[in-house]
Amino acid sequence: MSVPGSSAVLRVLWLLSVFGTVLPLDGGMLFPRESTSREVKELNGLWDFRPDGSLNRNEGFEKAWYKRRLAETGPVIEMPVPASYNDITQDPTLRDFIGWVWYEREVFVPARWISDEGTRVVLRVGSAHYYSIVWVNGEKVTEHEGGHLPFEAEISSLIRRDPTKPCRITIAVNNTLTLETLPPGTIQYMNDRTRYPDGFFVQNIYFDFFNYAGIHRPVLLYTTPTVYVDDIISLLKCLVRYKVSVQGAATATLKVTLMDKDGHCVASSNTPSGVLKVVDVKLWWPYLMHENPGYLYSMEVRQHTSTYEDVYTLPVGIRTVNVTKTQFLINNKPFYFHGVNKHEDSDIRGKGLDWPLIVKDFNLIKWLGANSFRTSHYPYAEEILQMCDRHGIVVIDECPGVGIKDIRSFGNASLSHHLVVMDELVRRDKNHPSVVMWSVANEPASEMPPAEFYFKTLIKHTKALDHTRPVTYITDSNYARDKGAPFVDVVCVNSYFSWYHDPGHLEVIPIQLNAQFENWYGKYKKPIIQSEYGADALPGLHMDPPMMFTEEYQNALLQSYHDVFDQKRKQYVIGELIWNFADFMTAQAIHRVVGNKKGIFTRQRQPKAAAFILRRRYWRLANETWRLPPWTKYPCSL
């Protein structure tokens, strides 16, 4: 089975003088927003779809399925976009399918977009998992490696060739993982014909969530003028340091205006980079840390030449982030992460972006009194980060570096791909005030010797991309043997005492958790976040005295952890993130009963008993730390 080269990336050098470094990426990839000069057309809905069921999964390329309508080369079914394809049908082979699947949609492009040569038309895919190739009217326009991050291609000249025809978009997506993909995986062929049917193979993965695949985020067409604002970088520190890059003309006139929530101009400039000073600045504060959390200014960038005008408005939050030996500071005040780990995961749509789910999750997060989450174990949709910006929910932004367990995944090819993924992640998320830290990996085999060079390089690279945010990775390795910990700014540790270790023995938690913190802090003198802890609980299963998998056991385990957190948060523990916000789907395995059940909410977002334990705790923590005045909706009943 073929996955085209993981190298198709290094093209035009893209200069980020504000961040003082060079990114090897094409274009700024600003989130598509409508304005007086820009239009957006969503292509969500039903697409034609066909998995390539041939033995080598290559029939689509051999027979050039992209050259004609998909329905002309074989049977198609309707497939919703955005959504994972896995749980949409009743067919188990599609649920577990590995290889290329083909999507196609015909769309009418507004006549003005075609007739107006001054309009640039871009096709953008919010994300597709894992490797994608895109054709328009049979011509390849782009390919992209990696799920969870957007990619796009300008298609103006293509759609102008035959304006009378609809525009046919074909996207082939392959979910095959290799030792050099992120996350890594391997394909294992079973050749013993006495035990397995012809052609039988499995995909081995080293992470604990279902490898959902397909087009997961919106597909859009959007326009800009041919001279356009390509990127904006805002550095958020009581003043806004910014840089605007323009494409399509050597010179253009710029006007940058910073407006408050009421639309009043608070600062302006007409240079492509500079500083906007705000008098009486309203800072961006986390939820429950201020009466007006998530304050956003609007930075309007208006650029024009004699012929073209482009307008792009970027929401901007002004805040600082700093780390000391024992604290995490936001706007110079100690910030304690009391939050959750999540997944993009739900019934039927898998990892597909789903607005009702997103809004429900934010309501639950706020109900819980959580102030933060980690995007375990991959970048979440930009739409989710925009909600975090608006609601003041603090984010640890994680790349898909999960399951790096095999020594062969520490080689040069893996590392260069990992660096590119960090380039893409920082390029996409750099302007979000809610993002306060980058996480470059989850539970890699960081005790292996090559991990030292790997993480030193990766973390240094990430800091060069963005020197305003701390960098970490999530470890579950032994503190004495961890090779990457010297390079992180904050130590993030996952542990499952009395679950994976000493199962059933809650009494070990105080001693083992205390030792964990003392050991890590003693060796590295860096603040620590308990980045995962938890226990599976089947909703409605009860037993007292508590037994594993009951709601009582999950409660007792959490409370035992909390007792230790309460001692250590007075010293150097700066946060606790429960594993997990909600139950989620995994591969089938003997230790998973239809998925991972460590959620404090079910997959359908109903609370287990543990949700109430956490709710009481989080509101108490918020109240203690910031003495919440009456403006909060503090639930007095807790």
Is the Cβ of residue 257 or residue 409 nearer to ligand GCB in the bound state? 409
The distance of closest approach from Cβ of residue 596 to ligand GCB in the complex, given in angstroms and rounded to an integer, is: 5
The distance of closest approach from Cβ of residue 402 to ligand GCB in the complex, given in angstroms and rounded to an integer, is: 7
129 contributes a contact to ligand GCB by CB under 6 A: no
What string marks each residue from 603 to 632 as x (binds ligand GCB by CB under 6 A) or -? Answer: ------------------------------
520 contributes a contact to ligand GCB by CB under 6 A: no
Sheet holding 265-269, edge to edge: 265-269, 253-259, 297-304, 309-316
The distance of closest approach from Cβ of residue 573 to ligand GCB in the complex, given in angstroms and rounded to an integer, is: 18
Is the Cβ of residue 181 or residue 586 nearer to ligand GCB in the bound state? 586
345 contributes a contact to ligand GCB by CB under 6 A: no
Residue of 176, 371, 472, 596 that binds ligand GCB (CB under 6 A): 596
Active-site pick, 443, 532, 551, 576 = 443
Q: Give the span between the Cα atoms of 537 and 554, in whole angstroms.
A: 6
What string marks each residue from 552 to 581 as x (binds ligand GCB by CB under 6 A) or -? Answer: ---------------------------x--
Is the Cβ of residue 496 or residue 634 nearer to ligand GCB in the bound state? 496
Tokens of 101: 């699947």
Tokens of 36: 């007086």
Residue of 532, 551, 576, 583 that binds ligand GCB (CB under 6 A): 532
Is the Cβ of residue 152 or residue 208 nearer to ligand GCB in the bound state? 208
431 contributes a contact to ligand GCB by CB under 6 A: no
C-alpha dihedral over 598, 600, 606, 612, to 10 degrees? 160
Residue of 86, 170, 175, 442 that binds ligand GCB (CB under 6 A): 442
Minimal CB distance residue for ligand GCB: 208
398 contributes a contact to ligand GCB by CB under 6 A: no
494 contributes a contact to ligand GCB by CB under 6 A: yes
Q: Give the span between the Cα atoms of 368 and 350, in whole angstroms.
A: 24
Strand pairing of 337-341 and 573-578?
parallel
C-alpha dihedral over 484, 490, 491, 495, to 10 degrees? -130
Is the Cβ of residue 33 or residue 501 nearer to ligand GCB in the bound state? 501
In terms of Cβ atoms closer than 10 Å to its own Cβ (0-12, 13-18, 19+), residue 141 is middle
Total residues binding ligand GCB (CB under 6 A): 10
Is the Cβ of residue 32 or residue 444 nearer to ligand GCB in the bound state? 444
User: Buried b vs exposed e over 19-53: b needs ≥16 C-beta within 10 Å?
Assistant: bebebebbbbbbbbeebebbbebebbeebbbbbbe
Residue of 443, 482, 576, 583 that binds ligand GCB (CB under 6 A): 443
Residue of 598, 603, 608, 617 that binds ligand GCB (CB under 6 A): 598
Is the Cβ of residue 337 or residue 579 nearer to ligand GCB in the bound state? 579
Q: Give the span between the Cα atoms of 129 and 397, in whole angstroms.
A: 19
382 as an active site residue: the answer is: no
Please say whether the beta carbons of 578 and 535 come within 8 A.
no
Q: Give the span between the Cα atoms of 274 and 272, in whole angstroms.
A: 7
476 contributes a contact to ligand GCB by CB under 6 A: yes
Cα(first)–Cα(last) distance of the chain, in Å?
56
The distance of closest approach from Cβ of residue 528 to ligand GCB in the complex, given in angstroms and rounded to an integer, is: 16
What string marks each residue from 200 to 239 as x (binds ligand GCB by CB under 6 A) or -? Answer: --------x-------------------------------
The distance of closest approach from Cβ of residue 488 to ligand GCB in the complex, given in angstroms and rounded to an integer, is: 16
Rg of the chain over Cα atoms, rounded to whole angstroms, equals: 25
The distance of closest approach from Cβ of residue 512 to ligand GCB in the complex, given in angstroms and rounded to an integer, is: 15
Please say whether the beta carbons of 19 and 418 come within 8 A.
no
Q: Give the span between the Cα atoms of 441 and 131, in whole angstroms.
A: 20
Residues 411, 413, 416: CA angle, nearest 5 degrees:
105
- Helix locations, 116-193, DSSP H: 156-160
Q: Where are the beta strands (DSSP E) in 56-184?
A: 77-81, 100-107, 119-125, 128-129, 131-136, 139-145, 151-154, 167-174
Residues forming the site for ligand GCB (CB under 6 A): 208, 377, 442-443, 476, 494, 532, 579, 596, 598
- Hey, which residues are catalytic here? 443
